[in-house]
Amino acid sequence: MPNFRVELAGGALVGVRREGTGTPLVLAHGFGGSRHDWEPVIAALPPDLPLIAYDARGFGESPGEPGVPFSHADDLLALLDALDVERADLCGISMGGGNVLHFALDHPERVRRLVLVSPLMLGWSWSSDWIDRWKTMGRAARAEDFGTARDLWWHHPLFDSTREVPEAAAHLRQSIAAFPGRQWAQDDQRPELPEVDRLTSLSVPTLLLTGARDTEDFRLISDLIAATGRDVTRIDHADAGHLLNLEIPATLAGEIVEFLA
């Protein structure tokens, strides 16, 4: 697939695009990852499905200038405009799910269908366990002990089920090793109001894909989206956890294709 680079104020977005007929599917990765985390799913998608996979600002190959405030949703808007995509199907996992949800609430006219995989929600009030673990990784990163930070992230309960699947675990290991880790020490995203207050306005047809073994915070986020959105279809996988794109990529691809059709 051809590569592209979209210049931004204080950064850029790098990714790949596959042409085809119909509405393109845009894939947004999770925290600490890159567009490569979607490769197992892309391999199981129809080869003629048009798609865009990109690295978010500050992740993968997409640079981000430290200290420059930004919004991932604004970056996505700039990406679609630069690639002349008037309307897209959006799919995001974890952090990427929160970003495409935010975009769909801001720009519903630019979204045909929305797929949320184990989504984060901007402005979420995290549990004390999540906050404590995040602070520990942040302290290690600020001390430039990124080896410890990455090890803590690898052993995070978020990935308990992923570590049980050899191929998924190997991909996750590689993804974490490639993550420089700056965002643990400094996150330049602009503060946002709690997204939960806007969920009632989510009108875009939405597929919510979750794992029953995900952590409590993400389970609660998904419960709220399922209960509040106007047109949300949820599929909950009993034996999977957070990273469905690595744990059950073929199943995920099939559900996405069926929903988009």
pLDDT at residue 153, as a whole number: 98
pLDDT at 205: 98
Are the C-beta atoms of residues 76 and 63 closer than 8 Å to each other? Answer: no
d(CA 79, CA 158) in angstroms, rounded, equals 30
Burial 213-251 (b: 16+ CB within 10 A, else e): bbbebbbebbeebbeebeebebeebeebbbbbbbbbbeb
Which pLDDT does position 193 carry in this prediction?
A: 87
Whole-number pLDDT of residue 37: 98
Phi and psi torsions of 234, nearest 5°:
-110, 135
Q: For each of the chain's 261 residues, which pLDDT tens digit applies?
A: 669 999 999 999 999 999 998 999 999 999 999 999 999 999 999 999 999 999 999 999 999 999 999 999 999 999 999 999 999 999 999 999 999 999 999 999 999 999 999 999 999 999 999 999 999 999 999 999 999 999 999 999 999 999 999 999 999 999 999 999 999 999 999 998 899 989 999 999 999 999 999 999 999 999 999 999 999 999 999 999 999 999 999 999 999 999 999
The per-residue pLDDT for 223 is 98
pLDDT value, residue 73: 97
What is the predicted pLDDT for the residue at 44?
98
Gap between the Cα atoms of 10 and 212, Å rounded:
39
pLDDT at residue number 30: 98
Which domains does the chain possess?
Answer: 3-125+188-260 (3.40.50.1820)
